[in-house]
């Protein structure tokens, strides 16, 4: 059986399971969403936001891209952020990176020519700014781990400077932003930094 057909069958099993636990699951879900969290994470298939946080459908508003970037010129992340903060009134925005990130591994080397190369240029610039620290680490895995951490905190700084976040804080909103890192090797999440007004 083709893999995509297995996914369709798994969906039917999931529907049955949800209805067995809560017969009104889908009717309640269709009424609207009021998530408390916006999750900005990596596109990596091994980092499913709902699974690793134990969240149910409707609890997280999710945006994912390669290496969990919050780039000022990116209309996609900008529109998701604006909708989450201005319309959904989320209370927390989480930028979550992860160790063993392929995007960050790609950013460890200078490369040009592809869309991924262009997308990761800010991460390469970050690597260059922290070259002394990173090159002082002889362990390649630890060096990559550190770049992942630096990237997550840099994205938190970018997030703090966005119009939706700065406007929310100026209006007295209790919005909090968080920099987290997920460890694929043991399944744990660690908070690196948190900010509020």
* Residues noted as catalytic: 42, 44, 46, 98, 101
Q: Which residue is associated with the tokens 């009134």?
A: 89
Say how far apart CA 111 and CA 118 lie, in whole Å. Answer: 9
At 5, phi and psi to the nearest 5? -70, -35
Beta bridge partners of 182: 98, 189
End-to-end CA distance of the chain: 53
- What is the helix (H) or strand (E) element at residue 195, kind and residue range? strand 189-196
Residue 103 contacts residue 67 (beta carbons within 8 Å): yes
DSSP assignment string, 55-112? PPTTSEEEEEETT----TT-HHHHHHHHIIIIIS--SEEEEEEETT-HHHHHHTS---
């Amino acid at each position: 059986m083709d893999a995509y057909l297995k996914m369709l069958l798994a969906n039917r099993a999931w529907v049955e399971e949800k209805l067995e636990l809560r017969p009104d699951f889908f009717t309640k879900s269709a009424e609207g969403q009021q998530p408390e969290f916006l999750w900005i994470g990596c596109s990596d298939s091994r980092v499913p936001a709902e699974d690793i946080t134990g969240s149910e459908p409707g609890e997280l508003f999710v945006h994912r891209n390669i290496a969990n970037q919050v780039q000022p010129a990116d209309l996609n992340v900008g529109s998701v952020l604006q909708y989450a903060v201005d319309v959904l009134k989320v209370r927390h925005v989480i930028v979550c990176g992860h160790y063993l990130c392929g995007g960050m591994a790609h950013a460890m080397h200078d490369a040009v020519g592809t869309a991924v190369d262009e997308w990761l240029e800010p991460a390469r610039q970050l690597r260059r700014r922290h070259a002394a620290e990173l090159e002082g680490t002889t362990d390649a895995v630890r060096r990559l781990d550190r770049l992942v951490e630096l990237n997550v905190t840099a994205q938190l700084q970018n997030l703090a400077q966005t119009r939706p976040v700065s406007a929310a804080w100026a209006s007295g909103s209790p919005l909090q932003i968080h920099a987290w890192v997920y460890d694929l090797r043991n399944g744990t999440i660690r908070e690196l930094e948190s900010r509020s007004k």
